[in-house]
Structure 1
Amino acid sequence: MSDDGGAIASATVAMFRERGSLLPAIDTIERIGLAARAIARRRAERALIEEISGATLQSLDKLLEVDPAISQTRFHWLRSAPDAPGASNLVGLTERIAFLRTLEIDPTLQARISSGRWDQMIREGNATPAWLANDFNASRRHALIVAQIIKLGQKLTDDAVSMFIKLTGRLFSQANNRKKQRHMDCRPDTAKALRMFLDTITALQSANDYGRNALEVLDQEVGWHRLLRMKPELESMVDDNEASPLTLAAEQYATVNKYAGAFLQTFTFRSARRHDPLLAAISLLKRLYAEKRRTLPDRVPVTHLSQTDRRLILGQEKPDRRLYEIATLAALRDRLRSADIWVDGSRSFRPIDEHLMPRSTFTILKDEDRLGLGVQEDGAAWLTEARQMLDFNLKRLAHRARSGRLEGVRLEAGTLIVTPTAGEVPVAVEELNAEISDMYPLVEVPDLLREVHEWTGFADCFTHVRTGDTPRNVSAMLAGVLADATNLGPKRMASASKGISAHQISWMRTFHARSETYRAAQACVTDAHTRHPHSRLWGNGTTSSSDGQFFRASDRAAKRGDINLHYGSEPGSKFYSHLSDQYGYFSILPISPTESEAAYVLDGLFDQDTILEIQEHFTDTGGASDHVFGLFALIGKRFAPRLRNLKDRKFHTFEKGDAYPALSNHIGAPINTTLILDHWDDLLHLAASITTRAVVPSTILKKLSASPKESQLAKALRELGRIERSLFMIEWYSNSTLRRRCQAGLNKGEAAHKLKRAVFFHERGELRDRSFESQAFRASGLNLVVSAIVHWNTVYLDRAVKELKRAGRNIPESLLRHISPLSWEHINLTGIYTWDSEQHLPEGFRSLRLPAGLRRAA
């Protein structure tokens, strides 16, 4: 069921034709569609609330009234839950979940209405504040609140579990940092101890050389009493150095104790294992918190813990409660991340099978040969082909390496070494680029956005959340987008703008800006850019690259940000974006800087609506893993990462390593074909779930890689990925064109980062948004505005080239393909933003600034 006007109109016309009736006038079809949509909405509202008692409905209305105890409405309190990891914030989440449960709304009510109608209810509810919901009729108001309660129950559960995972991980990270700091603090003492140890060895050596009494010489040269005084200090240093991570983490038990009880008692955990010892341990901890007991019983479940942890916990007369609880929470964290344990009422923390498409649907698609994957349904046949291809290519690589016939690659002492790829940009490109850049018209960024909208209509993609209407105030919509892109924010954008008020921007953002409308607007601009004739000089739109860009977080956002020492000691977030070979952005996502980029490589290829048909994708080493190689092969796309330390990576073969003596240094563990064959159907199921968008790829990849003990499916996917990575590495060594193509693709993304940094300049380019949704809006706005700049530049780049050619210049395409549309010196990104100015452009375009030579000719 859909609220889309076009879909409703099409269905209405199809119904008339099926009945053999004459089609009414267009306005009549429109009225029929509007009436049908209104009826469908009322029916869905009734289905959701018809079995809820009147007393419960009255209690739902009270959620929209200000509660004196918290000085705000409970509706707003539930929706404004904190998301920065912290003990008090996690307790706050559990309090909200407990309050939701007192309302006694059955989550299974969601199944009473279609998924499309449910999604629309959620979108409307998300955009509706309490004061506006009070103005709705009773049926609509109650249905909206019920839908929000069910959605919030799932969201807050996911948020609480995610926060617990972060807090537990942070506990051990901080313990490791404390250990490092202690080592730094005791460096003077360590140096003194080492000096004494050296003096002791010297004294003993002297006594041995001259046949003297060792103790007398030691006492004379070093001092026996001095050695004894040093003993306690040395013991302390050794204990600190050998302290286990668990012992160090237990130093923060007071903080853990603030939230662990509330968290464990709020949720019900499930496991596929019968009599799971971890669930038994959790049950024990719940009972201890409920009874307010501080000590453990003499016998406790321990088989969920490692041998090292058991020795620490049970090494005293009684089991250590602090160590046992933290070790159990750490085990729970790991198994929640890998979906080995899941949580009742959660959408994210479910068994892996529940994330994938239903097995029955997969079976039907397979039986009808409609999987549309990049591998055969017969795993044995695919492995036979892979074996032959890998064996042939390895033997050919070995022969060419021995005979020195690999371009840019040499074999030294049995090791293949690749010469770095040199740049291919002709010298004349720099001069031509400067000349064309001087021809771009000078433009204010609001005018640029409006012009791109007039060419593409991208602002019309920001439809109203309920009616589906396009924005009435396009300027306010564009101002909201620019507020996100420049990191200025809607309030400051209003104060820095002429012709737009804060209320207008806020209204547009509330009812028109959503993840799906941002995605549609992005697709609109990217598609227009892809179709432009000049963009074909840069590529055919079948290859792309992706990379992460780090932005620091400040103020309250710093509490939500994570620290990756690769980017310094300050917290922040990454914007991970995908760029086509034509400089067209088509996806962006904020991710933690501590997360592996490899998990998100496939997300951008499927979470987008452009006309691009990407067949080959480039990343740097951070985006590569064997799991990603395996999934690319399964879905039928080519993965080509630039791998760091390539000479240290191994080929994995079907044959014994001695079959390739010239490459013996590069041969690793053999392929486990049995594991692949045993799980071939599961691998196809996983790939089909991704290609049909039943699951987000990063959801599965993070779970497959999170478990300390890999699942059999994860191991099978890794083995398949090893085959694909080995084949890719052979081609990388053999094909200099591939290396240059990959380097060129990544260079485009790195160059585009500079433009993003230039646009995202307000607040010192630091993120100040605490919620993921707000950061996602910042990222989407930045991508959209940069895409608009790229398309605007492409249009005027094409016009400038045509102008130069009309003046008699011969400009070969070999030079033009190196002129990128990423310059911004001609665009005014700062100052007062004017949105109500009228532009009268001849033929719809601005006049080019002619270089001196053309001015003289004119």
Structure 2
Amino acid sequence: MSDDGPAIASSIVTTLRERGSLLPAIDTIERIGLAGRAIARRRAERTLIEDISLDTLQSLDRLLEVDQSIGQTRFHWLRSAPEAPGASNLVGLTERIAFLRTLEIDPKLQMRISSGRWDQMIREGNATPAWLANDFNASRRHALIVAQVIKLGQKLTDDAVSMFIKLMGRLFSQANNRKKQRQMDCRPDTAKALRMFLDTITALQSANDYGRNALEVLDQKVGWHRLLRMKPELESMVEGNEASPLVLAAEQYATVNKYVGAFLQAFTFQSARRHDPLLAAISLLKRLHAEKRRALPDRVPVTHLSQADRRLIFGEGRPDRRLYEIATLAALRDRLRSADIWVDGSRSFRPIDEHLMPRATFTTMKDEGRLGLGVHGDGVAWLAEARQMLDFNLKRLAHRARTGKLEGIRLEAGTLIVTPTAGEVPAAAEELNAEISDMYPMVEVPDLLREVHDWTGFADHFTHVRTGDSPRDVSAMLAGVLADATNLGPKRMASASKGISAHQIGWMRTFHARSETYRAAQACITDTHTRHPHARVWGNGTTSLSDGQFFRASDRAAKRGDVNLHCGSEPGSKFYSHLSDQYGYFSILPISPTESEAAYVLDGLFDQDTILDIQEHFTDTGGASDHVFGLFALIGKRFAPRLRNLKDRKFHTFEKGDIYPALSNHIGAPINATLILDHWDDLLHLAASITTRAVVPSTILKKLSASPKESQLAKALRELGRIERSLFMIEWYSSPALRRRCQAGLNKGEAAHKLKRAVFFHERGEIRDRSFESQAFRASGLNLVISAIVHWNTVYIERAVTHLRDVGREIPDHLLRHISPLSWEHINLTGTYTWDSEQHLPEGFRSLRLPAWLRRAA
């Protein structure tokens, strides 16, 4: 079932033709489709709520009434759950989950209607405030609330578990920071102790050299009583340096105790292991918190803990409650992240198999040869081919290294050294770039967005959440997009605009701005840009790059933000974006700065709807891992990261390393081919689930890399990735063209970051949105406006080049490749935004700014 108008109309026409009926007029087909869609919606609503009792329906209606005890409607209270990690916030999430369970809405009701209809109900519910839901008829209102209750149950469960994972991670991070701080604080005492130790050694050496009594010399030179006085201080220093992270984390047990009881009681945990000791330990802790008992029983489950943790816990004979509880919660955190343990009622924390496409579907696709992957269905054949290729390429690399035939590479003491690639821009290209930049017409950013919409129609893709209609007030829609892109926000955008009110912008954002409409609008601009003749000067749209850009968080957003010391000491978020070789953005996602970028590299290649057919992808070192190399090989795309410290990375071989003597310093552990073959079908199942979009790649990659004890599937994928990384490194050493291509691609991304920083300038360029959804809107708006600027510039670059050629200038394409569409000096991004101004453009374009000699030539 679909709500899509064109799909419904097409289905009506097909059905009428199959029945041999004459096709009615277009407006009649449209009325038939609208009536059919309305009937289907009412039928789905009745199906969802038909078995719910009248009392329960009345309790659902009360969710829309203001509850005096909390000063707001329960509907709003449920949807405005806190997101910043904190003890009270986690307790607040568990309270909301407990409240939802009192409504007694069975989550299995979702299975009664099709997934497409369910998604539509969720979209409508997300956009509907309590006051508006009260105006709906009873059936629609009750169905909307039931869908929201089920969705919120899943979302709040995921949010609570994610918050618990963050709190436990922060607990140990803070413990390590306290340890480092204590070491810094005791540096004077350490220096004092080292001086005394040096004096002691000197005294003992002197006694030995002259045959004197060591204790007498020591007492004379250092002082025996002085040494004894230092003993307690030394014991304290040694104890502090050797303190276990578990012991330091347990110092904050009082904070953990505020939320752990409510958290454990709120959920049912499951495991694939029979008689899992961790589940037994969790059950014990639940009972202790429910009964408010402090002491542990004499016998407790311990096999889920490491030997080191057990020694600490039982160091005094009886188990230490605080240490035992913290160690158990840390183990729970790790196994939740790796999907080794999951939570009933969660969508994110499920077994890995439930994230992938059904096994039966995969088996059918494989038997019918419809997987469409980049590897053979036969693992033995693929490994034989990989073995032969790797052996041949390594021997050729070794020979060329010995004979000095590798361009830009030298062999020093058995180590390959890469000469940095020079990426100089020809002087003629820089002059041409400056000349064309001076020819851009001056433009206000609202006018630029309106013109790009006139060329592409991108704003029409912000369809109404229920009717699917394009926005009637395009100016208000564009103002909302610019409010996101500039970090100004809708209210301040309204106050800084002429012709647009806050109500207009708010209405457009509420009912038209969603992740899927932002994605459709982005695809519209990117596709138009990809088809533009001048875009082909920069590339053919088959290569891309991705990189993260850090933005600081402030105010309330800082409490939710994470700190990555590589980005500074302040909290913030990263916008991780994907850019084609034609400067066309096609994906962006806000991520935590502490997360590995490698997990998100593949997301952008699949979570987008453009016509781009990306075959090769560049990243820097942060986006590279053996797991990513393995997945790229499986799905049939090429991964080409710029690897830092390449000389320290090893080749992994099938053969013994001594058959490549010239590369002996570079040979690492051998490939475990047996492990790959044992899990070949699992690897194909994983890759097919990604290519069919059954699972988001980052979801699986984060789970595979999270467990302290790597799963067999993760190990097999790593082994396959080692093969691909070894082949890639060989080509990197052998091909200066690859090195230059990768460097040029990444340079485009770094240049685009400057334009993003220029556009995202309000609030000092700091993120102040707490929720992931709001940050995603900021990122999507930024990407969309940057794409509009790039396309607008591209149009006028072509017009400028055409004008120069018309007056006799010879401009070769190899110089045009260096003319970037990322300039913004001619665009007024600040000031008062005017949205209702009428522009009269000859032939639909602005006039170029021409110097005097060009005007005379024209």
| SS across alignment from 1:668 | coil
| SS across alignment from 1:702 | helix
* Offset of residue 208 of structure 1: 1.6
1:368-419, Cα deviation, whole Å (9 max, x unpaired): 1100000010000000100111111111111111111111011111111110
Cα distance in 2, alignment partners of residues 305 and 835 from structure 1? 63
* Offset of residue 200 of structure 1: 1.2
Cα distance in 1, alignment partners of residues 401 and 226 from structure 2? 64
1:440-465, Cα deviation, whole Å (9 max, x unpaired): 00000000000000000000000000
* Offset of residue 656 of structure 1: 0.7
* Offset of residue 367 of structure 1: 1.1
1:146-184, Cα deviation, whole Å (9 max, x unpaired): 000000000000000000000000000000011111111
**What does residue 98 of structure 1 align with?**
98
**What does residue 387 of structure 2 align with?**
387
Cα distance in 1, alignment partners of residues 474 and 769 from structure 2? 25
* Offset of residue 326 of structure 1: 0.3
Is 1:463 the counterpart of 2:463? The answer is yes
Cα distance in 2, alignment partners of residues 453 and 330 from structure 1? 52
* Offset of residue 217 of structure 1: 1.6
Cα distance in 2, alignment partners of residues 39 and 113 from structure 1? 14
Q: For the Cα contact (< 8 Å) 1:338–1:706, is it kept in 2?
A: yes
Cα distance in 2, alignment partners of residues 853 and 279 from structure 1? 81
* Offset of residue 205 of structure 1: 1.4
Cα distance in 1, alignment partners of residues 851 and 379 from structure 2? 63
1:58-88, Cα deviation, whole Å (9 max, x unpaired): 0000000000000000000000000100000
1:188-215, Cα deviation, whole Å (9 max, x unpaired): 1111111111111111111222222222
Cα distance in 2, alignment partners of residues 654 and 291 from structure 1? 58
Cα distance in 2, alignment partners of residues 629 and 754 from structure 1? 29
Q: For the Cα contact (< 8 Å) 1:435–1:851, is it kept in 2?
A: no
| SS across alignment from 1:141 | helix
Cα distance in 2, alignment partners of residues 415 and 451 from structure 1? 56
* Offset of residue 311 of structure 1: 0.1
* Offset of residue 609 of structure 1: 0.2
Cα distance in 2, alignment partners of residues 761 and 383 from structure 1? 51
* Offset of residue 225 of structure 1: 1.4
**What does residue 186 of structure 1 align with?**
186
Q: For the Cα contact (< 8 Å) 1:554–1:767, is it kept in 2?
A: yes
| SS across alignment from 1:757 | helix
Aligned positions, number: 858
**What does residue 173 of structure 1 align with?**
173
Is 1:618 the counterpart of 2:608? The answer is no
Cα distance in 2, alignment partners of residues 429 and 249 from structure 1? 58
Deviates more, 1:758-767 or 1:805-814: 805-814
* Offset of residue 857 of structure 1: 3.3
1:321-366, Cα deviation, whole Å (9 max, x unpaired): 0000000000000000000000000000000000000001111111
Cα distance in 1, alignment partners of residues 212 and 578 from structure 2? 75
1:787-811, Cα deviation, whole Å (9 max, x unpaired): 0000000000100111111111111
* Offset of residue 438 of structure 1: 0.3
Cα distance in 1, alignment partners of residues 457 and 132 from structure 2? 30
1:215-260, Cα deviation, whole Å (9 max, x unpaired): 2221221111111111111111111000000000001101000000
Cα distance in 2, alignment partners of residues 171 and 233 from structure 1? 28
Deviates more, 1:17-26 or 1:570-579: 17-26
| SS across alignment from 1:586 | strand
Q: For the Cα contact (< 8 Å) 1:552–1:570, is it kept in 2?
A: yes
Q: For the Cα contact (< 8 Å) 1:153–1:345, is it kept in 2?
A: yes
Q: For the Cα contact (< 8 Å) 1:203–1:222, is it kept in 2?
A: yes
* Offset of residue 856 of structure 1: 4.2
Cα distance in 2, alignment partners of residues 107 and 234 from structure 1? 60
* Offset of residue 853 of structure 1: 2.6
Cα distance in 2, alignment partners of residues 388 and 643 from structure 1? 25
| SS across alignment from 1:589 | strand
* Offset of residue 317 of structure 1: 2.7
Q: For the Cα contact (< 8 Å) 1:676–1:717, is it kept in 2?
A: yes
Q: For the Cα contact (< 8 Å) 1:373–1:635, is it kept in 2?
A: yes
Cα distance in 2, alignment partners of residues 832 and 586 from structure 1? 29
* Offset of residue 691 of structure 1: 0.2
Q: For the Cα contact (< 8 Å) 1:269–1:344, is it kept in 2?
A: yes
| SS across alignment from 1:575 | strand
**What does residue 734 of structure 1 align with?**
734
Cα distance in 2, alignment partners of residues 231 and 787 from structure 1? 67
* Offset of residue 851 of structure 1: 2.2
1:765-802, Cα deviation, whole Å (9 max, x unpaired): 00000000000000000000000000000000100111
| SS across alignment from 1:576 | strand
**What does residue 668 of structure 1 align with?**
668
Cα distance in 2, alignment partners of residues 666 and 228 from structure 1? 52
Cα distance in 1, alignment partners of residues 436 and 543 from structure 2? 26
| SS across alignment from 2:259 | helix
**What does residue 334 of structure 2 align with?**
334
| SS across alignment from 1:350 | coil
1:295-329, Cα deviation, whole Å (9 max, x unpaired): 11111000000000000001113100000000000
| SS across alignment from 2:270 | strand
Deviates more, 1:817-826 or 1:416-425: 416-425
Q: For the Cα contact (< 8 Å) 1:122–1:151, is it kept in 2?
A: yes
Cα distance in 2, alignment partners of residues 77 and 203 from structure 1? 73
1:477-500, Cα deviation, whole Å (9 max, x unpaired): 000000000000001101110100
Is 1:644 the counterpart of 2:644? The answer is yes
Cα distance in 2, alignment partners of residues 446 and 317 from structure 1? 73
| SS across alignment from 2:258 | helix
Cα distance in 1, alignment partners of residues 184 and 290 from structure 2? 42
**What does residue 302 of structure 1 align with?**
302
Gap runs ≥5 in structure 2: none
Q: For the Cα contact (< 8 Å) 1:421–1:740, is it kept in 2?
A: yes
* Offset of residue 840 of structure 1: 0.4
* Offset of residue 852 of structure 1: 3.5
Deviates more, 1:206-215 or 1:705-714: 206-215
**What does residue 61 of structure 1 align with?**
61
Q: Percent identity?
A: 91
1:65-116, Cα deviation, whole Å (9 max, x unpaired): 0000000000000000001000000000000000000000000000000000
Cα distance in 2, alignment partners of residues 691 and 828 from structure 1? 42
* Offset of residue 513 of structure 1: 0.2
| SS across alignment from 1:824 | coil
Cα distance in 1, alignment partners of residues 273 and 585 from structure 2? 45
Deviates more, 1:128-137 or 1:846-855: 846-855
Cα distance in 2, alignment partners of residues 568 and 233 from structure 1? 35
**What does residue 213 of structure 2 align with?**
213
1:659-711, Cα deviation, whole Å (9 max, x unpaired): 11111111111111110111000000000000000000000000000010111
* Offset of residue 141 of structure 1: 0.1
* Offset of residue 28 of structure 1: 0.8
| SS across alignment from 1:823 | coil
Q: For the Cα contact (< 8 Å) 1:91–1:259, is it kept in 2?
A: yes
Cα distance in 2, alignment partners of residues 505 and 578 from structure 1? 28
1:534-570, Cα deviation, whole Å (9 max, x unpaired): 0000000000000000000000000000000001110
| SS across alignment from 1:42 | helix
Cα distance in 2, alignment partners of residues 169 and 41 from structure 1? 45
Cα distance in 1, alignment partners of residues 270 and 560 from structure 2? 29
Cα distance in 2, alignment partners of residues 789 and 397 from structure 1? 45
1:627-680, Cα deviation, whole Å (9 max, x unpaired): 000000000000000001111111111111111111111111111111011100
* Offset of residue 424 of structure 1: 4.0
